[in-house]
């Protein structure tokens, strides 16, 4: 697989400029390729490889010559662009300045906020104990049904079931609902997710039991309860990754807001209301 199709994206980032351009080769860092008076060294190659996304690194490891070719092409483009003075182009300078600003800010936020976000085991356990309702899976039912248009048809269905015919086969043959193709299976549902008449019928059944005829706004149903799940609490160890993410986000937001407030005070930020009114008017 050629890697060149990815290099076009990498070239627009300020950090992809070859680290070894203009460096003298040495016995410890021999050049792999030379472009004009500059070289691509073994170290440059390894640095480039380490900066690739993980899923591309494995490909590049098996196609080192292709990656080197990509680096040569990048270096050629950069060399010719610089010789033509594009590095002095105002638009490029503006883009680089904006990119530099964002990189510095990102590093600052990482140092002052992200690296300071620490969540202890006790904090996570306390959150779990205080928010147990959020880690409960509700009571659920699973049912199949046969839906027909009239009460007479529903009685016929009930009679066929009483004679021992397969519920699923009758559903496929007679049900007018979209679930007929899967033997009438509605899937799992919680309280309030199906019409009240259907729900009440299911609540009164044991697993494997069949209902009498149930009339709803959709027609006439015969219902079979196929499964029931009782309310359950997710164990702490299973919920732990989610709790950690929630607490990290909360603490990060708190640290971020605190940092903004402190910097505004430190640098005496003042918004000029008159100027803002003019701006808003425009």
Give me the chain's average pLDDT, please.
Answer: 90
The CATH number assigned to the domain holding 199 equals 3.10.50.40
pLDDT of 21 above 90: no
Does residue 151 form part of some domain?
yes
Q: Per the domain annotation, does 105 fall within a domain?
A: yes
Looking at the structure, tell me whether residues 32 and 166 fall in a common domain.
no
Task: Return d(Cα 188, Cα 139) in angstroms, integer.
Answer: 10
Q: How many domains does the chain divide into?
A: 3
Element (H, E) at 155: helix 151-162
Q: 99-103 — which CB contacts under 8 Å span 24+ positions?
A: 99/13, 99/14, 100/14, 103/14, 103/15
The helix (run of H) or strand (run of E) holding residue 216 is strand 214-216
Average pLDDT score over residue span 27-51? 88
Model confidence band, residue 277 (pLDDT cutoffs 50, 70, 90): confident
Do 98 and 119 fall into the same domain?
A: no
Beta bridge partners of 144: 185, 224
> Is residue 161 over pLDDT 90?
yes
DSSP 3-state helix, strand, coil percentages of the chain (rounded to 5)? 60, 15, 25
Residue 204 lies in a domain: yes
Q: What is the pLDDT of residue 184?
A: 97
pTM of the model: 0.60
User: Where residue 254 falls among pLDDT bands split at 50, 70, 90?
Assistant: very high
In a domain, 133, yes or no: no
User: Are both 196 and 147 inside the same structural domain?
Assistant: yes
Domain housing 241? 114-128+235-281
Tokens matching residue 112: 């002052």
- The answer on pLDDT for 216 being more than 50 is yes
What beta strand segments (E) does 8-163 contain? 31-35, 38-41, 136-137, 140-148
Task: Establish if 208 belongs to a structural domain.
Answer: yes
Position with higher pLDDT, 3 vs 280: 280
Give 82-126 pLDDT, tens digit per residue.
999 999 999 999 999 999 999 999 999 999 999 999 999 999 999
Q: Does residue 44 sit in the same domain as residue 178?
A: no
In the DSSP assignment, the letter for residue 180 is: G
* Structural domain contains residue 118: yes
**Which DSSP state fits 143?**
E
Instruction: Note whether residue 134 is domain-resident.
Output: no
The band of 12, judged by pLDDT with boundaries at 50, 70 and 90, is very low
User: pLDDT value at position 23?
Assistant: 44
Mean pLDDT of 207-227: 97
Buried-exposed string 163-173: b where 16+ CB fall within 10 A, e elsewhere: eeeebbebbbe
Give the residue with greater pLDDT, 13 vs 37: 37
Residue 25: the pLDDT is 43
Q: Judge if 94 and 170 occupy the same domain.
A: no
pLDDT at residue 282, rounded to an integer: 67
Residue 28 lies in a domain: yes
């Amino acid at each position: 697989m050629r890697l060149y199709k990815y290099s076009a994206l990498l070239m627009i980032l300020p950090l992809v400029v070859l680290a070894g351009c203009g460096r003298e080769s040495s016995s410890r860092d021999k050049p792999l390729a030379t472009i004009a008076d500059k070289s691509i060294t073994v170290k440059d190659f390894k640095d480039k490889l380490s900066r690739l996304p993980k899923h591309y690194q494995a490909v590049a490891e098996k196609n080192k010559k292709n990656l080197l070719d990509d680096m040569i092409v990048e270096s050629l483009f950069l060399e010719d662009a610089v010789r033509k003075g594009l590095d002095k182009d105002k638009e490029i300078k503006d883009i680089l300045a904006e990119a530099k600003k964002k990189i510095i800010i990102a590093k600052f936020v990482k140092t002052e906020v992200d690296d300071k976000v620490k969540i202890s085991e006790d904090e996570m356990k306390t959150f779990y104990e205080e928010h147990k309702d959020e880690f409960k899976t509700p009571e659920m039912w699973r049912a199949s049904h046969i839906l027909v248009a009239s009460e007479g048809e529903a009685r016929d269905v009930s009679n066929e079931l009483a004679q021992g015919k397969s519920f699923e086969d009758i559903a496929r043959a007679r049900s007018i609902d979209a679930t007929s193709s899967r033997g009438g299976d509605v899937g799992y549902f919680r309280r309030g997710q199906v019409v009240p008449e259907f729900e009440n019928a299911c609540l009164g059944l044991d697993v494997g039991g069949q209902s009498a005829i149930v009339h709803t706004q959709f027609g006439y149903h015969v219902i079979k309860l196929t499964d029931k799940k009782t309310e359950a609490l997710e164990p702490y160890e299973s919920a732990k990754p989610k709790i950690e993410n929630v607490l990290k986000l909360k603490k990060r937001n708190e640290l971020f807001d605190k940092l903004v407030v402190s910097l505004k005070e430190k640098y005496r930020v003042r918004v000029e209301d008159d100027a803002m009114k003019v701006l808003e008017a425009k």
